[in-house]
Amino acid sequence: MTKTKPDSVECTLVIVKPDAMQRRLLGVIIQRLERKGLVMIAGEMRQLSRPLAEQHYLSHKGKYFYPRLMNFITSGPLFISVWKGPGAIRRVRTLVGATSPDKAAPGTIRGDFALHTTHNLVHASDSSEAARREIALFFPAIEFPEITPTDSDWLVPNE
């Protein structure tokens, strides 16, 4: 029997959107990410400017939902954060759930709390390339602290 290597440690971006902030779900979302062994290494509450939102969602420009998305994402405060851990991108995407709350599995953030596809509570990077681009967009030229949680031996076994 061959042992599989544990997921490599990586970083990903998570945005807790205005609807989650208005519904006071930030703590619940952070708690779910932490319980999965991920560590927040940067976080900031801010109001997203239209130009920055357009840069972030450039791949959706021209799609039918784009104007509604721009209005929504700039409508109120949000929380932008960087998370680190083994297989962080995959783990976060799994915890967040499908884009549509109707298709998101129970137990996921969107499956449990989201009410509408546009107001789906959270954005999470979908690939390592996207994570690098998005982190650089929201946290340019920042050096992230090295945080080693006490449970790190359980999360990434030494083998």
Average of per-residue pLDDT values in the chain: 89
- DSSP letters of 65-132? THHHHHHHHTSSEEEEEEEEEETHHHHHHHHH--SSTTTSPTTSHHHHH--SSSS-SEEE--SHHHHH
Give catalytic residues, as residue numbers: 123
Q: How confident is the model at residue 28 (pLDDT cuts 50, 70, 90)?
A: very high
For the ranges 77-81, 106-110, 114-118, the lowest mean pLDDT is seen at 114-118
Q: How confident is the model at residue 4 (pLDDT cuts 50, 70, 90)?
A: very low
Q: Sign of torsion, CA 133 111 152 27?
A: positive
Average pLDDT over residues 64-75: 95
Domain boundaries, the chain: 26-46+81-140
The architecture (CATH level 2) of 26-46+81-140 comes to 2-Layer Sandwich (3.30)
Residue pair 80/43 in contact (Cβ under 8 Å)? The answer is yes
The answer for 21, left when phi > 0, alpha when psi is -120 to 50, beta otherwise, is: alpha
pLDDT for residue 141: 77
> What span, in angstroms and rounded, lies between the C-alpha atoms of 143 and 45?
18
pLDDT for residue 2: 40
The label of the residue with tokens 């409508």 reads 75
> What span, in angstroms and rounded, lies between the C-alpha atoms of 122 and 12?
13
**What pTM was computed for the model?**
0.87
Average pLDDT over residues 49-71: 95
Residue type, 114: A
Residue type, 82: V
